[in-house]
Amino acid sequence: MAGGIVIAASGNKGYPGKLTCKVFVTCIVAAMGGLIFGYDIGISGGVTSMPQFLKKFFPDVYRKEELNIGGTNQYCKFNSQKLTMFTSSLYLAALVASWFASIVTRVFGRKISMVLGGSLFLVGAIVNGLAKNRLMLYIGRAFLGCGVGFANQSVPVYLSEMAPYKYRGALNMVFQLSITIGILAANLINYFTSKMKNGNGWRYSLGLAAVPAVIFIIGSLCLPDTPNSLIERGKQEEAKERLRKIRGVENVDEEFDDLVNASIESKKIKHPWAKILSRKYRPQLIFVTFIPFFQQLTGMNVFMFYAPVLFKTIGFGNNASLMSSLITGIVNCVSTLVSIFTVDRFGRRILFLEGGVQMFICQVIITICVGIKFGIDGNPGVLENWYAMVVVIAICVYVAAFAWSWGPLGWLVPSEILPLEVRSAGQSVNVSVNMIFTFFIAQVFLEMMCKLKFGLFIFFSVFVVAMTIFIYVLLPETKGIPIEEMAEIWKAHPCWRKFVVDRNEKPTNVTTYEMTEDVKVETKEV
């Protein structure tokens, strides 16, 4: 069978239950965790392009930009490791925090992890809003990062566990939607604060991070924990009652039994970190490592962090730069809705594949445009309107592609393929890898732009090709499969079978689905 097109689900499992109002509201509230992450992504680019902020904390960059020291080479204008450290330090903190968050999430539940995440973020927002020197800025960033680490560890898992399996994709993606709302809100705030006459606009931008933090803390305090987590912590009766409530049906026995079995399996494992490295979990380990790696190597965060800087670099004025990043923020947000409405109908693979192709085409167009205009020496001359339009449109189409593919799926797929026994550990790997490479992009992007010039986008496009092939060959479809039944999909996949099928195990009855244009279903003994 051609690479990765077979998927499987066990027997005729299809738990009763509907999308209840309770689950819907609960998931929306939990997904607010994405707001704090998004706010942060969106705020730093605008702040680091504000002259008053640069003058106070990074005077050397300020001098270089304002006084045009260093000649006319646009590619290198903003290159400063200290400045990028401001943006990227947060992601290092998030990386470390996610390891601790994995323990808290497993032992104390998903809810505590979320409340903690919001609280740490709140402290960071206050410290940054009051910052007097660079040290305070970095300390604030560290707290914000810890908040993001805890939230990103727990929220996607919470959503995947709460949602009925048929709607899991859409509900999980509300997390990504709230990331994009956070980014957009931050872009908007930057747009207004940058115009403040008193020179303190950056303070408002950084301090207002407290608003999404408070929303998230209050929301999480009101949330119930997931049945999976209650069972994991020995609260069986409460878990069954909770399951009845969230599924809106009396008979939840089958799903409940499966959750209990998953928990018994999970209890046998003393060291989930060591366990996830074993051969049996190889497919999960590969995906929780490579999906976040590739998500960052799409190059999306170049636009999210540095859109205003980037637009300035290609010759836009201050206002036009902030306006253009606002436009990309809107496109990002609206396009996420496309995936929410399609992911449970058409599946994950098609979105991944289409998104990859679209991003690649846009990257080629952007490279050609920037290359023709700036050449090697980075001197653009006069910037015509039509040229600026082509670049902005290509960037928007690229952002849309990411927003309905790798953006939301980068959080959904890892959180739904992990069995309970390695779920917290696996999600930590996912968050850590995501944060390492978010850090990497934030830290080296300005340096890369200075060195690679217009070839920068070629660099990312090579990865886009690689990730699209990776998905095509290796990822089975996970749409419509209950989360605790996910183990079956690997057994029917030609590449993963040999890792997961226990040679002593009796053959099981597995339903295989062949994913072609229209889905054909056949059943066979494996």
List residues near ligand BGC by CB under 6 A: 41, 176, 179-180, 183, 295, 300-301, 304, 332, 407, 410-411, 434, 438
CB of 478 to ligand BGC, least distance (A): 17
Q: Whose Cβ is closer to ligand BGC: residue 113's or residue 176's?
A: 176
Asked if 156 and 149 touch (Cβ cutoff 8 Å), the reply is no
Q: Whose Cβ is closer to ligand BGC: residue 303's or residue 454's?
A: 303
CB of 177 to ligand BGC, least distance (A): 9
Helix (H) or strand (E) holding 291: helix 282-297
Contacts of 76 (CB under 8 A, 6+ apart): 70, 378, 449, 450
CB of 137 to ligand BGC, least distance (A): 21
Asked if 76 and 70 touch (Cβ cutoff 8 Å), the reply is yes
419: left (phi over 0), alpha (psi -120 to 50) or beta: beta
Q: Whose Cβ is closer to ligand BGC: residue 17's or residue 410's?
A: 410
CB of 381 to ligand BGC, least distance (A): 32
Q: Whose Cβ is closer to ligand BGC: residue 54's or residue 183's?
A: 183
DSSP state of 75: G
Q: Whose Cβ is closer to ligand BGC: residue 7's or residue 441's?
A: 441
Residue whose tokens read 């190059």 = 299
CB of 389 to ligand BGC, least distance (A): 23
Give CA–CA dist 84/324, Å, rounded: 21
Instruction: Give, in order, the Cα–Cα distances in Å from 241 to each of 24, 77, 207.
Output: 18, 60, 41
CB of 200 to ligand BGC, least distance (A): 27
Kindly provide the b/e burial profile for residues 49-82, where b requires at least 16 CB atoms within 10 angstroms of the residue's own CB: bbebbbebbbeebbebbeeeeeeeebbbbbbbee
CB of 307 to ligand BGC, least distance (A): 11
CB of 42 to ligand BGC, least distance (A): 8
Q: Whose Cβ is closer to ligand BGC: residue 295's or residue 367's?
A: 295
Q: Whose Cβ is closer to ligand BGC: residue 183's or residue 394's?
A: 183
Contacts of 132 (CB under 8 A, 6+ apart): none
Asked if 299 and 441 touch (Cβ cutoff 8 Å), the reply is yes
| Ordered DSSP codes for 325-351 | HHHHHHHHHHHHHHHHHHHHHH-HHHH
Q: Whose Cβ is closer to ligand BGC: residue 180's or residue 313's?
A: 180
Length of the chain: 526
